[in-house]
Amino acid sequence: MPWVNYNEAMARVREIGDASLEQFVMRAVTLVVKRFAAGRLPDGKLDMLYFVEVMIELFEQKDDLVRVLNGEDMRWFGDGG
């Protein structure tokens, strides 16, 4: 298998308890799995638990993500972003 800690990652997703956060993370995981299935692999193994934790952290920035998706330039990514 091209990734590690997949079962641990899925256990972490089941622990989330917030439907919006869970959907966000699972969309990202699904994209990774689809890329792997299509043969688009990273150079090394992918730690899925690490990936899930990063996606959870990214979701915590959802107010800024909405601003980016609405076209606001947030490239400065300072303390507030």
pLDDT, mean over the chain: 91
The contacts of residue 53 (CB under 8 Å, 6+ apart) are 12
pLDDT at 32: 94
Q: What is the pLDDT of residue 1?
A: 65
pTM: 0.83
pLDDT of residue 31: 96
Residue 5: per-residue pLDDT: 96
Task: Please identify every stretch of the chain with a pLDDT value under 70, giving residue numbers as ranges.
Answer: 1, 77-81
What pLDDT sits at residue 78?
Answer: 62
Rounded CA separation 4/44 (Å): 10
How far apart, in whole angstroms, are the C-alpha atoms of residue 7 and residue 18? 19
